[in-house]
Structure 1
Amino acid sequence: MYRVIKECGEYDSVKFNESKRIQTLKVSTAFTVTEIIKVENVYRLKTKSKTYLTAKKENVEKV
């Protein structure tokens, strides 16, 4: 389980751009991660619902 600690986007692709943004996740939103994916030099979290968000420690924390 991970939790959002700073608002961040939820995307339907590992390549983040505005056309792929589904929503903005609010602080305290919790989600289950099924995979951590490296895309070029950054990491993405793949959720149980098959969406993606940043793995940056300033945005999310493992709980």
Structure 2
Amino acid sequence: MRKDYKEAMDSYEEFMNEYCDFIKKFDQWGGEDLNDAEFAYYMEVQTRAYERLAEAAY
């Protein structure tokens, strides 16, 4: 197996593990408990993240 491929896959797995940990933490807050400012900020962050994902896809 190529070393750079294995390193990339290991890095991807580590990233996904961190993402899953974040989702568990985020779920504890629950979307219904966010105040207006928190929800607005959440939407700003989501927009930036989706824009970044769109850029990466092309």
The normalised TM-score by structure 2 is: 0.21
Higher strand share: 1
Higher helix share: 2
Give the number of the structure whose alpha-carbon radius of gyration is greater.
2
Ranked by relative contact order (alpha carbons within 8 Å, sequence separation 6 or more), the top structure is: 1
The normalised TM-score by structure 1 is: 0.20
